[in-house]
Chains A and B, each alone.
Chain A
């Protein structure tokens, strides 16, 4: 619901700011996204470089990388997710409180990347958890990560309070954690998250 712009600017000149609650809610959420410290492989180094002084991620509010997933709202999956690590990734995702977002950074997190032939490589983290933003690259430059963060901020600013994904009945509270099988993970993918492509 938008406010009449003329009314808004007249009131602003008086020092009264009028906006929908949703705008304020989204603005405060998107300006302080705290990622969880979760670097897997080479992309993690570019993530650290993005957090360093040259490409400053603190400008976007994402300065504080929380060590505990319970205090974070963004998981940047940076690097190859192997099958040995996949249960841990899903467990960490389950431990994050809503509203939570996932950025799949790098070719390996999107689809297995250059290691797609691997017996121990998970072909994309979106097989088990829902991903919001994908950043291609091997590794993507820190500027690409900042662009992804800005895209995520735009996505958050468009979310509506009464249509939140986490309030819907069909969203599970916890995603099932895969188990180590004799030859592969069981199950090899989460059917509710990963749609087998239609031939």
Chain B
């Protein structure tokens, strides 16, 4: 549901202006916020994703400012399910070009796919990498150097994986 100008103005007067929309209305709301003459949110400052594993969703947050009218920020939030196949959100790169690289980063690190993005591929990790490392359930590969006193989490994981030295290195040494 597209908000009215008065509602947005009221939000902006508070300390943390935030607007949560459904995926289907995201493009319409974004275009409204950008083109409406009294709002003119022409500067999309920050795009990021947050993994709410307990609520089983990933939330993509867009922070918008206005260069023409010098107000902001307004946080535009949209949620998508965590499962990789259903984690899709419409891309706002056609509206604000500055979202291009940041949406690619959200795809790379969280696995959120942006429909309508001109060039959606990995940006920070190498192309052959398959995991999405910033998700809360990501397990990094076990390649710790042996520490003189491995303790806590390191020691527990090392024991679970059968030793502090990676198995592939021991194999190659034989």
Contact = CB atoms under 8 A, between A and B. Distances in A.
Q: Do chains A and B touch in the complex (CB under 8 A)?
A: yes
Given A112-B145, A119-B141, A182 B169 contact: no
Contact of B166 (A117, A180, A188): A188
Interface of A: 83-84, 111-112, 116-117, 119-120, 123-124, 180-184, 186-189, 191, 194, 196-197, 199
A38 B47 CA distance: 33
A183 B164 contact: no
B168 A183 contact: no
B143 A191 contact: no
Given A84-B125, A119-B133, A199-B164, A184 B169 contact: no
A196 B146 contact: yes
A183 B143 contact: no
A187 B169 contact: yes
Most buried by A among B146, B166, B169: B169
Contact of A184 (B124, B138, B141, B144): B141
Contacts of B170: 196
Given A191-B169, A196-B169, A182 B128 contact: yes
B13 interface: no
A111 B148 CA distance: 13
B162 interface: no
B140 interface: yes
Interface in B145-174: 145-146, 164-166, 168-170, 172-173
Contact of B143 (A84, A182, A184): A184
